[in-house]
Structure formats: C-alpha cells, structure tokens
Amino acid sequence: MARVLITGGAGFLGSHLCDRFIKEGYDVICMDNFITGSPDNIAHLFGNPQFTFIHHDVTNFIYVEGDLDYILHFASPASPIDYLKLPIQTLKVGSLGTHKTLGLAKAKNARFLIASTSETYGDPAIHPQPETYWGNVNPVGYRGVYDEAKRFAEAMTMAYNRYHNVETRIVRIFNTYGPRMRIEDGRAIPAFISQALNNEPVTVFGDGSQTRSVCYVDDLVEGIYRLLLSDEVLPVNIGNPDELTMLDLAKEIIELTNSKSEIIFKELPSDDPKVRQPDITKAKSLLNWTPSVDRRAGLEKTIADFKKRLNK
C-alpha cells in the first residue's frame, strides 16, 4: 500500500486531499501545527487504520519513519487575513518548509508536489493567465510575503528536480471554495456566506468590479490527483475559468441564502488583483481535466456546511 505525506493536512484543502487519498487506498500521514488548520477538519479520520497524524512545524527538521511514495506540501497560510497577520511564518513555510519537505522527498525517493498559487501571477498584465506568464508581483508589498514565498518554493522545487533528480510536480491553485473553509477565513466566499447567513451587511471591496474564478474543492482535488500521477514537471494551473465579479458573487450568495443582507463597499486592499482567471489549456490537454461542478451547486453545498457550523 502506497504511503503519502500531506503537510498542512488539517487545513481546508489538505483535509480534502487526506480524504481522497484514503479513498484511493493510500496510507495517509497528515502533518500540521494548527496555525491555520483545525483538528475538526480531520476528526472523522482519527481511528482509521489508513490515517496517521503528526503534530509538527515543517520549518523544522522532519522525521517520518518508514517508506514514503509521495509528499504533498500544502502547509501555508493561504488567506490574506492570515499572511498579513503571520508574514514571517508565511515566508518561512514557503522557504524553509519547502526546503525541509524536498529534503525528505530526496531521502525517501518520494515524488513531491508543491501547492503553489495563482498569486504567483500578481496583478496580471495578461488575461487569462497561462503558465508561461511570469507575473507582475510587488515584492515589498503586503501581499509579497505570500506571493514571493510561493515563487521561491517553485524555484526551490525546480532546483531539486534539476540538481538532485527528485520527481517534482507544481500545481498553481486558483480560488477554491467548499465545505471546511474557515468561517473567519477572510476570503470572499466564506465572508459573504457568513455575513449573509447572519443577515449582516455583505462587504465588497472597491466597487466590486474586480473578478475571480472560483473552483469547487472536489474539482481541484481531482486535478491535483491527476497532476501528481502525471509526468509533467513544469507548473500547471488548476482552477475554474468561469469568471465573475465580486459584486455578482455577493449578490448570488445573498440570493442562495435567502438573506436580508445589504451590500456595503469598503476600500480595496493594497495590491489586490483586478482580474483572476486561469488558462487551463494545459490541464485539459495533459491531464484530461476540466472542472465539472456548477458554481451554484457548489455554493449550495458550501452554504449548507456553513449553516451547520453556525447553527443556522
């Protein structure tokens, strides 16, 4: 039975990956220090003989007993509210954490997959964003701690591939949503849903004309799984190209929650990207992957999860 280590495995994406690999028959080792992850996300897996949990900070030396076939490095704050509050930890997990997990992959002769991000493209001058675009990032801006941590992680990953012959994969993840997102996550969808369910004003930044392309978590996990098992070494975008404005997304969530909330507008944060849409031509051709979950259907599942946790 193959063994996989998932760092950040108690986070939103990491916990769904734990579920998927267990379903596929793998032995899963979940590693997390709960800075932004939660034991609630993996509570249903405790007691499962295929699941092991290790409480550990991956910026320190990592020890895992026995063989490993795959390592997925998903440990990192991923929401602006987190990496603005935890700037140094964000930089350390992208740099030191990536170095430590790549060293483990080399020692175990394991295939390594790094969770990168659409934020490597910054505020893009090309739309939609293909993997060949080098990005437009402010390295000394507030968001630079996350953007540059991920760009460094990609460079480190390619260095280990080229110099140490470690099998590596790079996924550039676009905006993803679904059950288990933190209620206080700070990103648009959890913020809109929690505000709407509480009939509070729904906060839209700027005039709401900035766009995002949102992908349901099950689709993302499928793309990541296919990429891990593929032969592609260079980065691959995984996301849903169905683009919409933040104002339209807020209106849709208010409608789906039958909320009495009104929309209010606040100042746009520094370096906030004006557009975000993945070019998924590469994922389609190499992985035979396209997202299949309709946005409204995915939002309904996410809203149901939030209702349960908010006791609504």
Q: Which CATH superfamily is domain 3-176+216-238 in?
A: NAD(P)-binding Rossmann-like Domain (3.40.50.720)
CATH architecture for segment(s) 179-212+242-277+293-310:
Alpha-Beta Complex (3.90)
* Fold matches, 3-176+216-238 and 179-212+242-277+293-310: no
Give the pLDDT of residue 197.
97
Angstrom CA distances, 216 to 11, 12, 129, 212, stand at: 16, 12, 19, 13
In DSSP terms, 74 is beta-bridged to none
Q: What is the mean pLDDT of the chain?
A: 96
- Concerning whether 146 is annotated as a catalytic residue, the answer is yes
CA distance 7 to 111: 14
> Measured in Å, how far apart are the chain's first and last C-alpha atoms?
42
Give just the sign of the alpha carbon dihedral 16, 154, 100, 164.
positive
Tens-place pLDDT, residues 239-292: 999 999 999 999 999 999 999 999 999 998 887 888 899 999 999 999 999 999
Are the beta carbons of 9 and 38 closer than 8 angstroms?
no
Give just the sign of the alpha carbon dihedral 254, 260, 263, 269.
negative
Enumerate the domain spans of the chain.
Answer: 3-176+216-238, 179-212+242-277+293-310
CA distance 72 to 84: 24
Of 83, 121, 146, 225, catalytic: 146
Are the beta carbons of 104 and 62 closer than 8 angstroms?
yes
What's the 3-state SS for the chain?
Answer: CCEEEEECCCCHHHHHHHHHHHHCCCEEEEEECCCCCCHHHCHHHCCCCCEEEEECCCCCCCCCCCCCCEEEECCCCCCHHHHHHCHHHHHHHHHHHHHHHHHHHHHHCCEEEEEEEHHHHECCCCCCECCCCCCECCCCCCCHHHHHHHHHHHHHHHHHHHHHCCCEEEEEECCEECCCCCCCCCCHHHHHHHHHHCCCCEEEECCCCCEEECEEHHHHHHHHHHHHCCCCCCCEEECCCCEEEHHHHHHHHHHHCCCCCCEEEECCCCCCCCCCCECCHHHHHHHCCCCCCCHHHHHHHHHHHHHHHHCC
CA distance 157 to 151: 10
Give the pLDDT of residue 151.
98
Give just the sign of the alpha carbon dihedral 164, 169, 175, 176.
negative
CA distance 199 to 24: 41
Q: How far is CA 180 from the centre of its chain?
A: 12
Tens-place pLDDT, residues 126-138: 999 999 999 999 9
Six-digit token string for 111: 């295939």
* Spans of the chain below 50 pLDDT: none
CA distance 36 to 185: 9
CA distance 97 to 105: 12
For the question of whether the overall pTM of this predicted structure is more than 0.85, the answer is yes
